[in-house]
Structure 1
Amino acid sequence: MVEVRPRVGVSGCLLGSPVRYNGGHSRCRFLTDELAEYVQWAQTCPEAEIGLGVPRPMVRLLSDGRLVAKDGPADHSRAVAELAERSSPGWGELDGFVVKARSPSCGLFGVPRYSAGLPGERTDGQPVDHRGRGAFTAALTAACPDLPVEEDGRLNDPGLREHFVERLFAHARLRGLLSGGWSAGDLVAFHSRHELQIMAHDPQGCRESGGIVARAGASREETARQYRRVFARALAVRPSRGRHVDALQHVFGLLSARLNRPCRLDLLETISAFEAGLVPLSLPVALLRHHAVSRELPYVAGQTYLDPYPRELRLRHYL
């Protein structure tokens, strides 16, 4: 069901490129061995690209957001800002970004920040706090607040990994639609396919996006801008188990009239088992998809909730 190959920015060291400060890499096997087959990468290493070389002296993030040499007076803040400005026109063509955790240039969360000499800050060489965001990633997230961005360490969590990949492919499908000569009917069809998926994340976002679709005969540019924003923000909400149960029961309701009693009971039992944490999400989804296809119900079978990304990734086996 996935028609568009996501374009994903990535810190080059995570794909095995030897661009870290010590000449090494931080290869993330999920990215290189599993996800790579289904996406297009756009690699970057801000520190190398501003001319620091490999290997290079270590840099630090200061409490005022500046990026400086660990030992010495060099301040690389302006160079990183200029790199971000040069790179930003291409960010609109991306569907997500994976950055290196704790990197002073790329980290998303918890980057150590050191004293910038502000009043009350410690001066013993230890971090002031661990609440920083890498200088390059700070510019990226400020310019593209709705772009899915994640860091490598958090991708070890099955729930965060599945949620991030789901957002990548949803973002890519919408980009594919809006980059062409779409019509109001195309947007209606797109929303119809994604309705249950959006609902599982954010019911209010589902209602709001539906209202935008209903007004799709107005300005195409404004409609696209509004829908893109609401769609992205709704999917940024991580669905709870209860929201998944609601979505599964909704699919069941669409199928139930075409099923005999044993099939209905089997599906309800499987959904209840998922709700209790006894089986993974992939099991009730597979059963619902099977019945939708075998009963020739294209509206149900075509719901992206049932196939949000390539099945070969097997991400719902761990939810």
Structure 2
Amino acid sequence: MSNKIPVGISACLTGDAVRFDGGHKRLSFAMDELAPYVRFNPVCPEMAIGLPTPRPSLRLVKDSGGRISLRTGKSGNDTDLTESMQRFARERSRQLTDLCGFIVCAKSPSCGMERVRVYDGAGSRKNGVGLFCQVLMAELPWLPVEEDGRLQDALLRENFVGRVYTLYEFNQLLREGLTRGALMAFHRRYKLLLLAHSQPEYRRIGPFVAAMDRWESLEAFAMEYRLRLMTLLSHKATRPNHTNVLMHVQGYFHRHLTHKQREELSLLIDSYRRGVQPLLAPLALVRHYMAEYPDPWLSQQRYFEPYPEALRLRYGH
């Protein structure tokens, strides 16, 4: 994974002065921490449909029939931009199929992912989705999408970056030439990571992969697998699930370790389970034993390095 990963981003989050007030919302996590690893593809949907900066602020408006439209200006003297924005969003989404993630601007009537203010005759409610973001997620349902505000949460940040790296590796697999063997090998590498994210989904995706040869089209299978894979990983990895994975991994060293060493590892895993130790504590000891007692299956597991360690994303666990 030496090349930079293509990731879309709302242009205002890069520091570009494209907001309605002529300002920006530069996201330091993206531009200072992620930038060495990704190639950002900035998009400002509002300027792309011909609006200037500065400009009147946009609003999502719900009419009496329940239809939500994107409008600019005050009620009674406004312009409906819904069709223009939807047309641009559809066209742009179809040009972005190589992306491995997208960071959008929270609360924006065009880019917001959730809790965008929607106005109606009774006032307003924070229950909308920005129009560009809504189309983007419908056109590319496998794509990891996250808001700048939610990326302040350590677990959501780690989850987003993990999905980005997974999709990047999967896309590389598609480019290098799709085979059943390559798909099976990919899934094997991700088994422990998938288990950490959702045990029920993990149990469902296994039989699906095992039935790969029943599909007439390998490409159609791969597209469905991509959607299921990314849906599974959208579940945040939890402490109980990580504990389950660590206990599973512990079994690989059982015959190599002394009673005292087994007890030490068990106590460390249990301390993590109870929230006394961070995830990095048992992982460090597990990596030590992996180096001392190599196992081919464990060594290939993405669980131990789902993204560059320098990003320090597991510090919040």
The answer as to whether partners of 2:107 and 2:115 remain within 8 angstroms in 1 is: yes
Structure 1 letter corresponding to 2:51 = L
Distance 1:203 1:228 in 2: 18
Alignment deviations for residues 60-80 of structure 1 (CA, whole Å, 9 cap, x no partner): 111232111133321111111
What are the equivalent positions in structure 2 for 1:304-319 lying under 5 Å apart? Answer: 304-319=302-317
Cα-to-partner distance string for 1:11-36 (whole Å, 9 max, x where unaligned): 01111111111111101111111111
Identity over aligned pairs, percent: 38
CA distance in 1, matches of 2:246, 2:153: 23
Moved more, 28-37 or 181-190: 181-190
Name the SS of the counterpart of 1:40 in structure 2: strand
The one-letter code matched in structure 2 to 1:160 is L
Partner Cα distance (2:262, 2:59) in 1? 59
1:213 is the counterpart of 2:212: no
- 1:111-190 alignment to 2 at 5 Å? 111-115=116-120, 121-122=121-122, 127-190=123-186
Question: For residues 167 and 16 of structure 2, what CA distance do their matches in structure 1 show?
Answer: 26
Contact 1:3 1:173 (8 Å CA) reproduced: no
- Give TM-score scaled by structure 1 length: 0.92
Conserved? CA contact 1:14–1:25, under 8 Å? yes
Residue deviations 1:128-183 (CA, integer Å, cap 9, x gap)? 21101111111111222232111011111111111111111111111111232122
Higher relative contact order (CA 8 A, sep 6+): 1
CA distance in 2: counterparts of 1:12 and 1:283, whole angstroms: 38
The alpha carbon displacement at 1:308 in A equals 0.9
Structure-2 residue corresponding to 1:118: none
Q: Could you report, residue by residue, the CA deviation over 1:218-254 in whole angstroms, capped at 9, with x for unpaired residues?
A: 4311221221122111111112211111011111112
SS in 2 for 1:103: coil
Amino acid at match of 1:70: G
Q: How many residues align?
A: 309
Query: Does structure 1 conserve the Cα–Cα contact (< 8 Å) formed by 2:141 and 2:227?
Result: no
Q: Which runs of 5+ in 1 are unaligned?
A: 116-120
When the two chains are superposed, the root-mean-square deviation of aligned CA atoms in Å is: 1.6
Summarize the alignment of residues 2-13 of structure 1 with structure 2, pairs less than 5 Å apart.
2=1, 5-13=4-12
Matches within 5 A, 1:48-67: 48-63=47-62, 64-67=67-70
The separation in 2 between residues aligned to 1:288 and 1:301, in whole angstroms, is 11
In the aligned structure 1, how far is the partner of 2:105 from the partner of 2:236?
A: 22
Q: Return the TM-score normalized by structure 2.
A: 0.92
On the 8 A contact 1:104/1:111 being kept in 2, the answer is yes
Query: Which residue among 215, 219, 222 is the counterpart of 2:220?
Result: 222
SS at match of 2:269: helix
Partner of 1:27: 26
